[in-house]
Structure 1
C-alpha cells in the first residue's frame, strides 16, 4: 500500500509516479483565521479553517512545487486572506482574485505586484444562468484583466458557454473554465453544448481545469470524468490544467447550505486524484505538460 500523509485529518495517498519538478496545483483555497480575515456577511456557506500551514502540508504530501490560490466566494471581493498567503509563499504561488467592477487601476496594479494573474467570475455558485447577465460579467471582468495580461476564470455550465461561444472567443484575454467546465461525465462527449467547449479549446482561447471530478461524476473512481478528460486532452493538450480543489468546499446533494453553521469539507484523497490524472493522461510527457508547462505559461511562473 502506498504511504500516506494526513492533512486536515484526511489521509492522502502519496503519488505513485515521479511528479515532475515545477508541478503546480492550479486550484486551492485558504480560509482563516476568522479573527484576521472575516467572512463576508453575504456568504452562502461558512467553511472551517484551512490555513497556509495546512496548504503547505498538502503541497509536501503531493510533491508539488507551485500553487495557484483562488479567491473563494466566502470572502467576496476582500482578497486579504489570499494575498497574505501569496506574500508568505513568494514566487512559488500565484493568485486569482475577485474584484469590484469599479476597482481602480492602482488596486489592480497592486494585485499584479502581489502575484495575481487572473480574475474570477463565479457564476455557478451565485446562480447566474442568464447568458445576457453572464456576458456582462465576463466583458467587464475581461476589460479589467486585459491591461495586465491576466486571464478570466469562470465557473459556469456548458449551456452558458455555448450561448456565449462567440463572445468568449472574442474576449481580449484567455478564459479558464473551472471543474471540467461543468460537463456531465455520465452523458459523455455527445451531451448538449460540449462541442462548443471543444471549439473554444481548439481555438486556444479556453483552458479547462481538470479539478473536483466529484462535481461532475457520481462514480466512486470518477472513471467517466476520466473519459471527459481524455477527450479534452485530444482537443488541445496545451489548454489543460489540474487542480485539487483543496480543501474541497462544496454543497452536498439534498442538504441546504446554511451560513450559520460550519459546512464540513469533502474528505477527498488528493493523492488518488493526482494518480488518476497521470493515468488519464497516459504518458509522462502529457502529465508534465498539464502539471508544469501549461501553468507556467498561463500564470507566469
Structure 2
C-alpha cells in the first residue's frame, strides 16, 4: 500500500504555473495560477456534470489566453480525481490527460506531469482557507462531506495541523445514519481526554463540518452543537495544494492519472427498483 501524499504547505517556486480542474459536482471550476496566496489567479465557474464535457476545453483555452501562458509552460495539470459525479470525473481526467499528452508535440518531452487530488481533500482545503480568510480560529479537525445521491454521503476526515492537512480516514461512502458514529471513531486520536457527551460535543476538539450535504440531509447533525459550512471543492483549492503535492513527488504521467470512484455502481436494475418499491410499500 502506498503512503499518503505529504500535504505540508510548500511555498511555490518562483514562476510556477498550474492549471487546476474540478468537475466532481454539478459545478465546473477551473483555475490557473502559481498556488501562492496573493498571486494572480484566473478562474472560471459554470455548470458541471454533463455540461462540463462541452465547456471545459474552451474555458481552459480562454484562461491560458488571459494569462498569456502557453500550455507547454505549465509545471503540472491538477485535477480532482474523485469521488464525485462519474461523468464529471471522467471528463476532468480525460482533459487533464489530453492536455498533458498534447504538450509533447509542443516540445515537452514526456508531456506535462499530472497531479490527481482527492476531491474531499480539495473540499477540506477550501474549508480551511475560508475559515482562515474570515479570521476565525482554525479548526483542529475537518469533516469533508459531499452528497453522493442514492441516500449516501461521501466522507473523509482530516486533522488540520500547522504542517498541513493530515488524512485521518480516506474517502468512503457512508449512510447518513452511520455518519456521526463513524466520524467520532475517526477523530478519537485527536482527543486524548475523551468526553462523556461524545467527541464532537467536547470542548477539547474543534471540528469543522464542510460540504454540500446539509440541505439534502437536514437531520444529519441532529443533537450536535456544530455550525456546518456549506461549500464545494474548488479549482482554487487545488492550486493551493499543488506546490506541496508536486514537491512531494505526487505527480504522475498522464497515462497513470485515474479517477477515484469509491462507488462502483451508480444505477439500479429494474428488478432492484421493484424490490425497493415493494419493501417501501405499506403493509
Is TM (by shorter chain) over 0.5?
Answer: no
- Bigger fraction of residues in strand: 2
Report the TM-score when normalising by structure 1: 0.27
Give the greater-gyration-radius structure (CA). Answer: 2
- Bigger fraction of residues in helix: 1
Report the TM-score when normalising by structure 2: 0.28
